[in-house]
Amino acid sequence: MKKLLYFVLFIGAALALLLPASKLTAQEGNVWIQIEAQPSLRSAQDRARAYGGSFDDVNGYSVGSGWYVIALGPFAPEDAVARLRQMRRENLIPRDSFVADGSGFRQQFWPIGTNNLNAEPVAATQPAENTTVAATPDITEPVEPPEETVAQARRSENNLSRDEKKLLQIAMQAEGFYNAAIDGSYGRGTRRAMAAYQDSRGYEPTGVLTTRQRTELIEEYNSILDGVGLAQIRNEDAGIEMLIPAGLVSFSRFEPPFVHYDSTTPDDVRVLLISQNGTRATMNGLYEIMQTLEIVPLEGERERNSDNFTLTGQNSSIHSYTYAKHENGMIKGFTVIWPAGDERRLARVIQEMQSSFSTFGEALSDSHADPQAEQSIDLLSGLEIRRPDISRTGFYIDARGSVITTAEVVGSCREITLNRDHTAEVAFVDQDLGIAVLRPSENLAPISFAAFSDGVARLQSEVIVAGYPYEGVLNAPTLTYGTLADVRGLRGEEDLQRLALASQAGNAGGPVFDANGSVTGLVLSDASNGSQQLPQDVSFALKPNALREALSANGVSSTVATPRDSLTPLQLANQAADMTVLVSCWN
């Protein structure tokens, strides 16, 4: 494909030599010497960098349809020809290089951060007199080649480089026709994919793409990036250089270890650069922390190696991708957050960002932190920490770490966690009693688990509720003291007991202790409703015998407390901390 493009451009340049000089010298503005075209930004950057070692005036421009050109200049029209011929004679540039008027040049990608389309022309060192040359055809409107026979298509295909062949496989894969290895080798799988592509576009399914069909395929592949505005950025503070969707985001602020590029459109696309000093342990910590953020939804693949990690997350609102690596005592990477429903475009953007990602210099310094930035336990470096849909209390009931809790917290959850660190599955739910038992995904071997009282509690005796009334804002359970107000519910329910203490919603599912540390009940959710509001110091708990019967009926064993002396407040607090669990429902 690239060689065909060069051939067309070379013919245009050759024909231009037949035109009178006035055709060029009468033009207004600058001209360039176009020396090369590449079908991908990464390859164009590599070639521009290579030419930059020999010439001081190397430029790179996007020209649409997925192509990028490398050009020298700008020059005054009458000076460009001398430079062109001189470099051709010295074999410094390809023989098919030509003078271009720049009308097809779009965004400049090289040198980074430069825009010289309207710059003053540079004088050529050896201007030529009475030399004629004309601007070449606009590369954005290439001459359409005639359709080829299968034999001709095979011959033109043989002239493709391995990278060009890989690009065709990548494009067919993106269009859903190819699902094998991207190896640049055209076996039966590639031929079937080509035939399927041809058939879908109304061409004869020969399994050999003609030059025109290859061009159309690449144009379709690249068209998905229209409007994204991919552009190379170089952030000196973070020491990161890469492509980002600059048409959708712009620099916002530094909040170490992140550099924020916030959305400039209603789509709410965002990009983060990650840059900090640290060890592999620091990287592993970042891997864990990133998964607590709203921008990394629970569903998605996670992969961590010794020196890098990737995180993907998706829900009904957003998809995100994070990559970070540890190198030379620094962790650097990036995150892109994209609206759900546009996954094909996101996949291409990620591909371009990943392939262009490079690092240099130092890591982002903590001195970049804004002392006036908003602070909150719900924020991490300006990013919102993911919060569960609901959190309640539970407690361990056996040595494997099984947990009993309120059924309220195990509704339609994508994930249930214990103390935020361990996942669990629902073993059973008893809707009549309003309880549930959870099995942790791994044996937890808790320090302490419940021993249920087997006696009859005395009215007005002291009771202590352990729980998370603030639903996890505090990292340890809170103890609430009260008394046993009644051994039945308000309507005489035998399975209930009424407590005289102020319990909050987060305490539901928590254990009720007596002074000896035996579990005498499980706190129920608030019984108030829209038409009846109970006093604040009225709470209800299930009796231990009702709990043990429900556990036994579902094949779960329980332990009966043995008589012992009363515990000190410190001993009771330690037992509660070892036994009580924060149960959270996530979606």
For 337-377, the DSSP string reads EEETT-HHHHHHHHHHHHHH-EE-S-PPPGGGS-TTS---T
If pLDDT is split at 50, 70 and 90, which confidence band does 411 have? confident
Residue 370 has pLDDT above 90, yes or no: no
Residues 289 and 243 in one domain: yes
Section 509-526 average pLDDT? 92
The Cα–Cα gap between 154 and 159 comes to 9
Tokens of 330: 């620094």
* Same domain (yes/no): 395, 535: yes
How is residue 299 annotated by DSSP? B
- Higher pLDDT: 160 or 128? It is 160
* Residue 548 pLDDT class (50, 70, 90 cuts): very high
Least confident span in 139-148, 194-203, 288-297: 139-148
Which secondary structure element, helix H or strand E, spans residue 249, and what is its range? strand 249-255
State whether the Cα torsion 133-137-139-142 is positive or negative: negative
Residue 125 has what pLDDT?
A: 45
**In the chain, pLDDT over 70 holds for what percent of residues?**
86
Domain holding 98, by residue range, is: 2-110
CA atoms of 167 and 237, how far apart (whole Å): 34
Residue 136 lies in a domain: no
420 and 506 share a domain? yes
Structurally, the chain folds into a number of domains equal to 4
Is 28:238 a contact under the CB 8 Å cutoff? no
Let me know if residue 486 belongs to a domain. yes
Give the mean model confidence (pLDDT) for residues 29-51.
Answer: 84
Same domain, 236 and 378: yes
Give the per-residue pLDDT at 376: 46
Q: Which of 99, 122, 114 is nearest to 31 (CA)?
A: 99
Q: Which residue has the tokens 């602020």?
A: 253
CA angle in degrees (0–180, nearest 5) for 548-428-396: 55
Give yes or no: residues 367 and 404 share one domain: no
Sign of CA pseudo-dihedral 516, 520, 521, 527? negative
- Please report whether residue 234 resides in a domain: yes
From 223, 245, 273, give the residue that closes a domain. 223
pLDDT digits (tens, 9 = 90+) for 160-171: 999 899 999 999
User: pLDDT at position 396, please?
Assistant: 95
> Does 139 map to a domain?
no
Q: Which of 187-191, 221-225, 423-427 has the lowest mean pLDDT?
A: 221-225
Closest CA to 401 of 385, 418, 384, 381: 418
Q: Do residues 506 and 435 share a domain?
A: yes
Question: Are 253 and 380 found together in one domain?
Answer: yes
In a domain, 150, yes or no: no
Calpha distance 539→526 (Å, rounded):
7
Sign of the Cα pseudo-torsion (181, 187, 189, 194, in order)? positive
pLDDT at 316 over 80: yes
- Are residues 212 and 235 part of one domain? no
* Structural domain contains residue 123: no
Nearest alpha-carbon partner for 511 in 537, 551, 474, 544? 544
Maximum average pLDDT range among 28-32, 81-85, 213-217, 530-534: 213-217
Confidence of residue 225 (pLDDT cuts 50, 70, 90): confident
The pLDDT value given to residue 381: 60
Tokens of 345: 């475009």
Q: Global pTM?
A: 0.56
The CA distance from 129 to 491, in Å, is 110
Phi-psi region of 570 (alpha: psi -120 to 50; beta: other; left: phi over 0): alpha
The more confident residue out of 132 and 304 is: 304
Q: Are residues 552 and 410 in the same domain?
A: yes
Within-domain flag for 21: yes
> What's the chain's average pLDDT?
84
Same domain, 448 and 337: no
In a domain, 118, yes or no: no
Q: Which residue has the tokens 């026709």?
A: 177
- What DSSP designation does 188 have? H
Position 137 pLDDT exceeds 70: no
